[in-house]
Structure 1
């Protein structure tokens, strides 16, 4: 889509016709303020703008567009009857990609739009690849769950929001019981398969609003917004049962099957200044579950009762 801004009705019609003959949808604006409003609403791929206009002039419009953070790039062509070198440089420094002198030659504008299509397509591809790389950087390659980087980002946001709105949340630290001996007996390939299976169980047990992360090694963390401690405990008990029903044989475990343990902590508004303290309590609760014989859920000691 191309947005053309010009306060001269004749020039606007010529530009609109040239844009449409080039195969683009065209929006038109009769001044800079109208052009800015239409830009914000429609996010066009290309803006063709006159230099001298009421309201925002062409340079101000260029600067406004460039100052706005956006995933996709807008290609800007400046229309000007002022073709001096200083004017051209001023336009490019303001954020324009190219310029066309008036009176407008439709062929010249068509050529500029061909260049614009190549540039905007390239930027769209780059934006897509950046998004893919960002997702990969935040995903554990073994289990497909979120990783520690994503956890740090999500937990920081959740903690700040929960403090602001005085909302509770819970963290559940989970660990595969006797995993070292499982790897020793069955090999690391089997261990990887077991971790994938456990991760899938935890992801299935979680609500759509919950976050499930591979914390490291055989540890997983569940982030449970607006969840009570008892609600978290009930959910983790179901998850532990689901892991047992996987029926993964583990001759080195007392139960003869692969199991997990979990420790749960709860954020209390006004008590926990940092998310790390909630995380530390979940880790302590997990240690208590391990010490109590594994294959169980424990609440953080200071939250019992």
Structure 2
């Protein structure tokens, strides 16, 4: 465990450092509260052993700064007081300390508290991992492992609220698997799931890592293509459409004999700073037009709108 020691008294620092190292932990040493805060930010220690009274930030201020800066990680703070008065201990706990020891420091007492610190910080670390895993799971489609609509809503919100000046261009592409209902009827839902997984993997492979690929629902997918004009997005979607066709997933109920996709593309560009909901509607209308004109093709929303 990485332990930060903050104490302006040299003898106290030496005793505390020796006790911490004897307990098998790595030591970082600060000579006052201000340098302790800088070292904390630079090294993110799992535990802090801080004197109550120091130049600059005192122990209480350091506790408050640590607690206000924490995110998923948790730092165990042990306050060192000169006489352990109830008033000092209470003030320390209210400021965010987890425990306290009194001077002169007893190495055994500190060792016991560091054992507790190791357990608590380990538990917090495990909980942070579980929270991250649950958060990712809530934003991931369980079948295709693509992002889901919750993540799409968050990402589109971020695109429209990031405050860029000028705003960054991007395109939306609504993608639908052609004649998928008949595919399920002919080959069964298990085969349909396998086909969706294969198509999802192809979509993700054919765009940049920085682009967003989402399962929008059923056999519909959505692509968010950053820094693209409608024309360059159309080129990308033609490549994606061709790659899906080249999978050669047999479909006797489709005129092409294989599973294909259709796509509709809308654009957030100079002169058309539409909101996310409008862009989704435009992409959906373009997709409908692609379906109506024969499927297995890409249609631009701008081709359907003569006057924006």
Normalising by structure 1, we get a TM-score of 0.96
> 1:92-112 CA distances to partner (integer Å, 9 max, x unpaired)?
111000000111011111111
Indicate the residue corresponding to 1:160 in structure 2. 161
Q: Any conservation in 1 of the 2:229–2:269 contact (CA below 8 Å)?
A: no
Indicate the residue corresponding to 1:209 in structure 2. 210
- Looking at structure 1, the residues matched to 219 and 47 of structure 2 have their Cα atoms a distance apart, in angstroms, of 50
Give how far 1:158 is off. 2.0
Indicate the residue corresponding to 2:24 in structure 1. 23
Indicate the residue corresponding to 1:4 in structure 2. 5
**Does 1:138 pair with 2:136?**
no
> 1:64-121 CA distances to partner (integer Å, 9 max, x unpaired)?
1001132210000000013222321111111000000111011111111111011111
Indicate the residue corresponding to 2:45 in structure 1. 44
Tell me, what secondary structure is at the counterpart of 1:133?
A: helix
Give how far 1:270 is off. 5.5
Indicate the residue corresponding to 1:267 in structure 2. 268
Indicate the residue corresponding to 1:297 in structure 2. 298
- Looking at structure 2, the residues matched to 38 and 131 of structure 1 have their Cα atoms a distance apart, in angstroms, of 27
Q: Any conservation in 1 of the 2:286–2:304 contact (CA below 8 Å)?
A: no
Q: Any conservation in 2 of the 1:272–1:278 contact (CA below 8 Å)?
A: no
Indicate the residue corresponding to 1:256 in structure 2. 257
Runs of 4 or more, structure 1, over 6 Å off, are none
> 1:246-268 CA distances to partner (integer Å, 9 max, x unpaired)?
11111221222111100001102
Indicate the residue corresponding to 1:94 in structure 2. 95
Give how far 1:303 is off. 7.2
Indicate the residue corresponding to 1:55 in structure 2. 56
What are the ranges of 5 or more consecutive residues in structure 1 without an aligned counterpart? none
**Does 1:241 pair with 2:242?**
yes
> 1:166-213 CA distances to partner (integer Å, 9 max, x unpaired)?
321111100001111111111111110111111011011111211110
Specify whether residues 163 and 261 from structure 1 end up closer, same or farther in structure 2 by C-alpha distance, changes over 3 A only: farther
Q: How does 1:177-192 map to 2 (within 5 A)?
A: 177-192=178-193
Give how far 1:304 is off. 7.1
Tell me, what secondary structure is at the counterpart of 1:261?
A: strand
Q: Any conservation in 2 of the 1:158–1:225 contact (CA below 8 Å)?
A: no
> 1:267-294 CA distances to partner (integer Å, 9 max, x unpaired)?
0246334211111111111011011111
Normalising by structure 2, we get a TM-score of 0.95
Specify whether residues 97 and 303 from structure 1 end up closer, same or farther in structure 2 by C-alpha distance, changes over 3 A only: farther
- Looking at structure 2, the residues matched to 113 and 58 of structure 1 have their Cα atoms a distance apart, in angstroms, of 18
Tell me, what secondary structure is at the counterpart of 2:54?
A: coil
Over the residues paired in the alignment, what is the CA RMSD in angstroms?
Answer: 1.5
Tell me, what secondary structure is at the counterpart of 2:29?
A: strand
Tell me, what secondary structure is at the counterpart of 1:165?
A: coil
- Looking at structure 2, the residues matched to 303 and 82 of structure 1 have their Cα atoms a distance apart, in angstroms, of 79
Indicate the residue corresponding to 2:119 in structure 1. 118
Q: Any conservation in 1 of the 2:268–2:274 contact (CA below 8 Å)?
A: no
Q: Any conservation in 2 of the 1:162–1:168 contact (CA below 8 Å)?
A: no
Paired positions, count? 305
